[in-house]
Structure 1
Amino acid sequence: MLWDIDLTLVDYSGLGRRWYTDALHAVGGVPLRHLPSFPGRTERSLAREFLTAHGIEHSEERVELFFAALTALAEQDRATLPSLGRALVGASEILTELSTRANVVQSLVTGNLPELANYKLEAFDLHHHIDFEIGGYGSLSEHRHDLVAAAITQASTKHGDFETVVVIGDTPHDVAAGLHHGTTTVGVATGRFTAAELEESGAHVTLRDLSDTPAVAKALLPQAG
């Protein structure tokens, strides 16, 4: 199971804008003039657009400085993250349920940096169910399908080959990345896209939300009931 984080498991709406604004000032000393569209994007893709739009050299050194600034800001907010966001309904329950299933490994395909992914889930005690070592993270590539490839490769190396890989997210980008590698894709309409839009993007299964744990488990693991 490869989970997206933002607006799939947790909601920190508005926090990204503040972190990006502060990171921009730290790296370039300029005010915010442009904010990228976040849903489904990787941190590396967002950093390129963000730096370029503000007249800052888009070099690997600058990108890494930007990542470091974002990580420092997240570290500063780590203790207060529970008050800055929320776990989405059913997220804890389905992660817990799947962790009891034999031969199920849960990890991430997320546009977040690894540290941010950990902090965001830790805030609501969701991190215990996730194997962070094998996740695909937004620092890797501008293209989300590369994150899926990385996660599958690392998971297979650590745990052996899997009969089924399931990618779960709230945007068409999540769906497209999963389809690119022939995975089962599940769209969850808890973000900015409707179930119909996720279905149109090619999702094999669409869910209104994660609130009905038995139904969600059956959708993710139909062969297990």
Structure 2
Amino acid sequence: MLARLAGLNCEPIPTGDVMPARLLLLWDVDHTLIETAGVGAIVFAEAFERATGRPMSAGMAKAQGHTEPVLFAETLAMHGLPDDEGLFRRFAQAQAASYTSRIVELREQGRILPGVSRLLRDLDADPRIVQTVLTGNTRAAAAIKLGTFGLDQYLDLRIGAYGDDDAHRPLLVDIARRRAEHKYQTQFRRDDTVVIGDTPRDVHAAHAAGVRAVAVASGIGSAGDLAAAGASIVLESLEGVEGVNLVDGLLSPRS
């Protein structure tokens, strides 16, 4: 099951939104844009039990930048259970249903991280930018989380890349690039593509795909850890970050 899952959620993207975009920004979701404050862990446990018929008694594998299929597979292994694609599909469906039933709880307990709403709004208004997500979440889970906090209005989720597109995070970069190029009828070179996340895994995925990484120390990774991983830009948080300054910095000639 941890082999390619590219057959899932790959419906054709409509063309026609031609624009003079110059940068493709690929945002991580959890601990970069939002926090679920424990609701995500509850949902995972509920979905695990519904999919497997067994409670998650041995706990959950550490997330820390894993895609959902990898996290689920590692959690299955902790419980001595076999792994297969059909089981993950059942888990993903149960997870989406559980998030849907807990939207009020998610909104009340979770939060948008500081500076995110303003920055995404500013970037959405910049014609040089196309922004979407590159996340280990499934497409359904990401849409529910971002929609709950109203961030989906700033992100083109149709062209995003998700854990149920491929279990291997670096391969998600080209999935998003191809979708963006098809929809917007413009080429996004690797140097024009930027992964923005909060873990060294996000940075490593960007490098493996040959694109740039901006890292935000809003998760468990410190600014030092993210710099050591090789991020082009490291930010302590997104609070106070001006969209125009971020874009100008990314568009400036590289030394």
Which bin holds the TM-score, normalised by the shorter protein? Answer: over 0.9
Q: What are the residue-to-residue correspondences of 1:1-225 with 2, within 5 Å?
A: 1-32=25-56, 33-159=58-184, 160-162=186-188, 164-214=192-242, 217-222=244-249
* Cα distance, 1:67–1:122 mapped onto 2, change above 3 Å: same
Query: Which consecutive unaligned segments of at least 5 residues does structure 2 have?
Result: 1-24
Higher helix fraction (1 or 2): 1
Deviations 1:171-191 (A, max 9, x none): 011111111122121000000
Structure 1, 71-80 or 143-152: larger mean CA deviation: 71-80
Is the 2:215–2:226 Cα contact (8 Å) retained in structure 1? yes
After superposition, the CA RMSD in angstroms is: 1.6
State the TM-score, normalized to the length of structure 2. Answer: 0.83
Q: In the aligned structure 1, how far is the partner of 2:178 from the partner of 2:244?
A: 24
SS of the equivalent of 1:140 reads coil
CA contact (8 A) 2:166 2:172 kept: yes
Contact 2:171/2:209 (8 A) holds in 1: no
Deviation at 1:168, TM superposition (A): 0.2
Contact 2:60 2:75 in 1 (8 A): yes
- State whether residues 44 and 140 of structure 1, in contact with CA within 8 Å, keep that contact through their aligned partners in structure 2: no
How many residue pairs match? The answer is 224
| Segment drifting more, 88-97 vs 177-186 | 177-186
Task: State the one-letter code of the partner of 1:166.
Answer: V
1:8–1:169 CA contact under 8 A, matched in 2: yes
SS of structure 2 residue aligned to 1:55? coil
Letter in 2 for 1:108: V
1:36-79 deviation per Cα after TM superposition (whole angstroms, max 9, x unaligned): 11121101111111222223221111111111111110111124
Per-residue deviation, 1:82:
1.0
SS at match of 2:215: strand
Letter aligned with residue 168 of structure 1: I
The Cα shift of 1:206 comes to 0.1
Q: CA deviation at 1:223?
A: 5.9
SS at match of 1:166: strand
Whole-Å separation in 1 of the counterparts to 2:86 and 2:250: 47
Asked if the contact 1:185/1:205 (under 8 Å) is kept, the reply is yes
Q: Which has the higher contact order (CA 8 A, sep 6+)?
A: 2
Looking at structure 1, the residues matched to 91 and 143 of structure 2 have their Cα atoms a distance apart, in angstroms, of 18
In structure 1, list runs of 5 or more residues that go unmatched.
none
1:218 deviates by 1.7
1:94 and 1:217 in contact (8 A); partners too: no
Q: Distance in 2 between matches of 1:165 and 1:111?
A: 18
Alignment deviations for residues 110-153 of structure 1 (CA, whole Å, 9 cap, x no partner): 01111111111112211101111111101122211011121111
Instruction: Give identity over the alignment, percent.
Output: 33
Query: Once the 2 structures are TM-superposed, how far is the Cα of residue 217 of structure 1 from its aligned partner?
Result: 4.1
Quick check: 1:45–1:141 contact (8 Å CA) kept in 2? no
| Structure 2: distance between partners of 1:131 and 1:140 | 16
